[in-house]
Structure 1
Amino acid sequence: MTAWLLLAVAVVAEVAGTLSLRLAATGATLWYAAVAAGYLVAFTGLATTLAHGMPLGVAYGIWAAAGVALTAIGSQVFFGEPLTRVMLLGIALIMTGVLLVELGSVH
């Protein structure tokens, strides 16, 4: 259970870092500190997840897919960026692929 909690923290930190990058890119350079902190926590959390025994393919797949999905939703909520049906289909396909990777890793 600890590995899953660490992975969740890593995902949330990665999404926060990426959303902060959007703010920093608008000229608010103070947000770069949030970007750095978010990515530092994200990669540390991912590495610690792996140290707790979660397979790399599963951990990275979930981290990346959840990050893409949550970042797309967050960019729509916070920045009014589009989130079209085609984008939602793409997110669903990514998540389906990650689920298949996870199911395939179970022996």
Structure 2
Amino acid sequence: MNPVYTAYALLACAIVTEVIGSAFLVKSEGFTKPVPTLVVVVLYVIAFYLLAQVIKVIPLGIAYAIWAGVGIVLTAVVGFIFFRQQLDLPAMVGIGLIVAGVMVINLFSASSGH
């Protein structure tokens, strides 16, 4: 399998584990609940391990931009669906700009590892 495809698959897994870990931050109630706190720590360790594998193939700046950008969007979606957290128009516009930035990187940047 192509190492770039593998790296992007690992990046997707890193994003998902980080987003789930972030959702458990809410459940940990400021790290006062041990089980959700442990879940946060384990998922963040996994996410950063996966990110470390990704940057062997994809440049750090590109990988991190995608990880952070997609993570922000997915975390906002999780907050909306599971925690009923509303976003106002400026927040949605900002998230849209983040999505646009990730798309520009992936579609047009020679640095993205394609």
Whether TM-score is above 0.5 comes out as yes
The C-alpha deviation readout for 1:77-99, integer Å capped at 9, x for no partner, is: 11111123322211111122233
Which residue type is aligned with residue 84 of structure 1? D
TM-score by length of 2: 0.83
Which residue type is aligned with residue 61 of structure 1? A
- Alignment match, 2:28: 24
1:50 aligns with 2:59: no
- Of residues 3-12 and 91-100 in structure 1, the stretch that sits farther from structure 2 once superposed is 91-100
Q: Provide structure 1 residue ranges, at least 5 long, that are not aligned to the other structure.
A: none
- Alignment match, 2:45: 40
- What's the offset of the Cα at 1:61? 0.6
- Of residues 3-12 and 75-84 in structure 1, the stretch that sits farther from structure 2 once superposed is 75-84
Which residue type is aligned with residue 39 of structure 1? Y
Aligned CA RMSD, in angstroms, stands at 1.7
Q: Provide structure 2 residue ranges, at least 5 long, that are not aligned to the other structure.
A: none
8 A contact 1:73–1:83 mirrored in 2: no
User: What is the rounded CA distance, in whole Å, between the counterparts of 2:20 and 2:29 in structure 1?
Assistant: 14
Aligned residues with identical type, % of pairs: 37
User: What is the rounded CA distance, in whole Å, between the counterparts of 1:89 and 1:105 in structure 2?
Assistant: 27
Count residues with an aligned counterpart. 106
1:2 aligns with 2:3: no
TM-score by length of 1: 0.88
Which residue type is aligned with residue 104 of structure 1? S
8 A contact 1:65–1:94 mirrored in 2: yes
User: What is the rounded CA distance, in whole Å, between the counterparts of 1:87 and 1:20 in structure 2?
Assistant: 22
